[in-house]
Structure 1
Amino acid sequence: MDKLLERFFRYVRIETQSDGDVASCPSTAGQFNLAQQLKSEMEELGLSDISLDEHCYLMARLPSNVSVDIPAIGFIAHMDTAPDASGLNVKPQIVENYQGGDIALGIGDEVLSPIQYPDLNKLHGHNIITTDGTTLLGADNKAGVAEIMTAIAYLVAHPEIKHGDICIGFTPDEEIGRGANLFDVEKFNAQWAYTIDGGPVGELEFENFNATSADVVCYGTNVHPGTAKGKMVNSMNIAAQFQLMMPSNETPEATEGYEGFYHLKSMKPSVAKTELGYIIRDFSREGQEQRKAFMQQKVDELNLQLEKGRVELVLTDSYFNMREMVEPYPHIIELAKAAMIECDVQPEIKPIRGGTDGARLSFKGLPCPNIFTGGYNFHGIHEFITVEGMEKAVNVIIKLVEKTTEKYS
């Protein structure tokens, strides 16, 4: 474990923020910097089949050290960080033996408060790693990367722990929904895998939202405002009308658990054309189809009301609920639960109110539930993670390897 924090701090200081406006893969060059670092570390560990392709997918294998046929299992994390907050010049800080109250982030006025984030009340006595209040931390998902690398290094150093082939995969551009696009499942060659990309200790997830992007484009007419009477059609007014037609009680801030939502996440306004970027989420396929039909209905209704101008809707499915692809293999979940319990971690099976590479990979033939990293408040400057949570994640990975070997020996 002495190398765990060293790895994590080294990784978060490499800027790897992905960019959804760039079509290439990876979307940013910085992701290659981390991938090259990890490739070198894999080589130092003596791993086999190390490959880094032109799209920044990094894979390697720790070969089996037993003569019996143990299923090859995989561990996957993504190297990019979210576009929601800067990932440049990350300066992590450790608050040792946290005893409650606000945590000052850096030297500014920004604080991490248990009033706003009550999870802190459960972490008294823990060592908490935070940002300095100017960037995100990057625990999503560099904590997962560090935890996998630390677990693999431990297994290399302790050959008395018997295991089959262990496959490692690090992906680019997960935060912009593309992490599994070019992932070569056949090359990876695992029978099943786990993404190490969850939140607080104990999280074990094998169901996620069905996801659709909904682009609403409102068209108007722009003329000089001095001569606009009877001619101008302000598309921003049309966009405002449309947003008011959406249910205010079905948004991210008003829902939890298995409740779906509509989320207006972006807007590009002008008089002549305004683009509204929505995401639609629901745990059931039927519910998702109903939500898509509802948006189309509202577009049609608004077009009928408008004397001038028009509205268009483009729906694009992003990923689906992996539950239907994982449930046929209950042993995958049972092994993870057993590993957690033996590591003194209480499994908390809950739905992912989002998505992971594992959701897409499950539909590509690689069943892939998600396991905790120990982190909180991803995608913003209030992101934090506990040292103890990261250590437990490492222990669970190692124990999963042991439990799989026990089951199939």
Structure 2
Amino acid sequence: MISKKQITDRFISYVTIDTESDPDSNTTPSTEKQWDLANKLVEELKDIGLKDVTIDENAYIMATLPSNIDKEVPTIGFISHFDTSPDFTGAHVKPQIIENYDGEDIILNQEENIVLSPDYFEDLKLYKGQTLITTDGTTLLGADDKAGITEIVTAMEYMIQHPEIKHGKVRIGFTPDEEIGRGAHKFDVKKFGADWAYTMDGSEIGELEYENFNAAGAVVTIKGKIVHPGYAKGKMINSIYIAQDFINSLPRMETPEHTSGREGFFHLHTIKGDVEETQLQYIIRDHDKEHFQARKEVMKKLTEEINAQHKREVIKIEIKDQYYNMREKVEPVMHIVDIAEEAMKSLNITPIIKPIRGGTDGSQLSYMGLPCPNIFAGGHNFHGRYEYVPVESMIKAVEVIVKIVELTAVKQKTS
């Protein structure tokens, strides 16, 4: 159906363009360099024959595969993001192609002794005999989510070249800044005009997800008093020690490294400070809405208790919700998940239906009126030097997209 060379060449043409986003920027896109890939994609979508190809002032791309049947069927969409994570550099990506992977260690970088090993990354064992694309150990790869973009473009091109595949109208959308939580912020759902959509932004082949975390961010600011340490008795208030009390008062086992599945957590990801002032930055996550609310209350109550102990306001907390579990919006239209599941099974792919331990554009889009489950894109070890993607997984993702479009036209269900 799809050649390895075709999909590999397309993917590499995308990942070698640096599109790292920047959480400290107030512009959209957050970095000017995201325009480099965005503009390339616009021209490519036109070249393969898609219609209504548009890019707006914020680099949101949309395009249409027109229906080729004379009956009304739902309009569906496929969405991916073209930015890469600021967690690790995406500049000067040098992909390596490992053909017929032998199941052993892969030397990513001889000079720096960087090794991608199945002893540590056990998922590698699933892909023995396949073609892997890896990094050279000095950058991330960008399969998150340029694999998804590759798959969507390739699927659209395939359907244009094979008009015997009957389908309704399909919309595609590519977004900036997903990695910094803003991918859906300026997405025009009304303009997109789909009854539902799928993000191609999952990992392992078979993943199909319609649950994600409820999410909030918390900034905890502790005020102290600095005086000369030689004369500090009864006068100095060390904000670092108060911060330590706050940290130690939260459940130690309810952190990312001790939780899995549907278990939520408190995650302290940044701490900076001195005697006079210390700031803690947390993310709060839980799949269950009531547990999510309870976690926020725990942090607020702890703040009150510490202030009471000191008989003055030494600590402040600001909590902001970030996104919510899409399950609430997808369950009323579960046939959209059923179609994706049927598509995978028809291609001999075992669906892996599980909650996302993170967020996705699909979560925000679901609450904006566009129900949007998440489908595998094939990559592993996102956001770091050990990222890789099996080419065969990307090909299967293309087949899933095509099959979903076919099934939607046959079933003629509406959202």
Which TM class, normalised by the smaller chain length? over 0.9
SS at match of 1:299: helix
1:18 matches 2:18: no
- Once residues 126 and 284 of structure 2 are traced to their aligned partners in structure 1, the CA distance between those partners, rounded to angstroms, is 33
How has the CA–CA distance of structure 1 residues 222 and 204 changed in structure 2, closer, same or farther, with 3 Å as cutoff?
Answer: same
The one-letter amino acid of 2:21's match is S
For residue 85 of structure 2, what is the aligned residue in structure 1?
82
Q: Which moved more, 1:231-240 or 1:350-359?
A: 231-240
For residue 109 of structure 1, what is the aligned residue in structure 2?
113
8 Å CA contact retained: 1:136, 1:382? yes
1:395 matches 2:399: yes
Deviation of 1:122 (Å): 1.9
- Once residues 370 and 306 of structure 1 are traced to their aligned partners in structure 2, the CA distance between those partners, rounded to angstroms, is 47
For residue 54 of structure 1, what is the aligned residue in structure 2?
57
8 Å CA contact retained: 2:220, 2:317? yes
Deviation of 1:360 (Å): 0.4
The one-letter amino acid of 1:312's match is K
Question: Which of 212, 217, 226 is residue 213 of structure 1 equivalent to?
Answer: 217
- Once residues 48 and 361 of structure 1 are traced to their aligned partners in structure 2, the CA distance between those partners, rounded to angstroms, is 23
Question: Which of 70, 91, 106 is residue 67 of structure 1 equivalent to?
Answer: 70
8 Å CA contact retained: 2:101, 2:130? yes
Deviation of 1:308 (Å): 7.1
SS at match of 1:221: coil
Deviation of 1:44 (Å): 0.7
TM-score, normalising length: structure 2? 0.95
- Once residues 323 and 71 of structure 2 are traced to their aligned partners in structure 1, the CA distance between those partners, rounded to angstroms, is 37
- Once residues 266 and 163 of structure 2 are traced to their aligned partners in structure 1, the CA distance between those partners, rounded to angstroms, is 50
Q: Where does the alignment leave 5 or more consecutive residues of structure 1 unmatched?
A: none
For residue 29 of structure 1, what is the aligned residue in structure 2?
32
Deviation of 1:375 (Å): 1.0
Deviation of 1:173 (Å): 0.8
- Once residues 305 and 177 of structure 1 are traced to their aligned partners in structure 2, the CA distance between those partners, rounded to angstroms, is 36
Deviation of 1:223 (Å): 4.3
Deviation of 1:337 (Å): 0.7
Question: Which of 177, 193, 214 is residue 189 of structure 1 equivalent to?
Answer: 193
The one-letter amino acid of 1:192's match is W
The one-letter amino acid of 1:48's match is K
Q: Deviation per CA, 1:63-94, whole angstroms, max 9, x where unpaired?
A: 11111112110000011111111111111111
1:375 matches 2:358: no
Taking only aligned residues, the RMSD between alpha carbons, in angstroms, comes to 1.5
Q: Deviation per CA, 1:19-63, whole angstroms, max 9, x where unpaired?
A: 111122111111111110100101112221111111111111111
Question: Which of 172, 178, 181 is residue 182 of structure 2 equivalent to?
Answer: 178
- Once residues 222 and 83 of structure 1 are traced to their aligned partners in structure 2, the CA distance between those partners, rounded to angstroms, is 35
Output aligned runs, 1:231-250, within 5 Å: 231-250=235-254
For residue 156 of structure 1, what is the aligned residue in structure 2?
160
For residue 261 of structure 1, what is the aligned residue in structure 2?
265
SS at match of 1:156: helix
Output aligned runs, 1:240-319, within 5 Å: 240-306=244-310, 310-319=314-323
SS at match of 2:202: coil
For residue 137 of structure 2, what is the aligned residue in structure 1?
133
1:360 matches 2:364: yes
Q: Deviation per CA, 1:248-303, whole angstroms, max 9, x where unpaired?
A: 11011100001011101112223322211101111111010000001111111222
The one-letter amino acid of 2:384's match is G
Q: Deviation per CA, 1:189-226, whole angstroms, max 9, x where unpaired?
A: 00000000001000000011100111111112234556
8 Å CA contact retained: 1:32, 1:56? yes
TM-score, normalising length: structure 1? 0.97
SS at match of 2:216: strand
- Once residues 138 and 7 of structure 2 are traced to their aligned partners in structure 1, the CA distance between those partners, rounded to angstroms, is 24
1:121 matches 2:125: yes
Q: Deviation per CA, 1:334-365, whole angstroms, max 9, x where unpaired?
A: 11011111111111100000010000000111
Percent of residue pairs identical? 54
Question: Which of 71, 96, 120 is residue 99 of structure 2 equivalent to?
Answer: 96
Deviation of 1:130 (Å): 1.1
How many aligned residue pairs are there? 409
8 Å CA contact retained: 2:45, 2:63? yes
Q: Where does the alignment leave 5 or more consecutive residues of structure 2 unmatched?
A: none
Question: Which of 7, 11, 14 is residue 8 of structure 1 equivalent to?
Answer: 11
The one-letter amino acid of 1:341's match is K
The one-letter amino acid of 1:390's match is M
8 Å CA contact retained: 1:233, 1:309? no
8 Å CA contact retained: 2:62, 2:192? yes
SS at match of 1:197: strand
Deviation of 1:229 (Å): 4.9
Question: Which of 37, 46, 51 is residue 43 of structure 1 equivalent to?
Answer: 46
The one-letter amino acid of 1:142's match is K
The one-letter amino acid of 2:33's match is G
8 Å CA contact retained: 2:49, 2:157? no
- Once residues 211 and 290 of structure 1 are traced to their aligned partners in structure 2, the CA distance between those partners, rounded to angstroms, is 12
Deviation of 1:307 (Å): 6.2
For residue 334 of structure 2, what is the aligned residue in structure 1?
330
- Once residues 379 and 226 of structure 1 are traced to their aligned partners in structure 2, the CA distance between those partners, rounded to angstroms, is 47
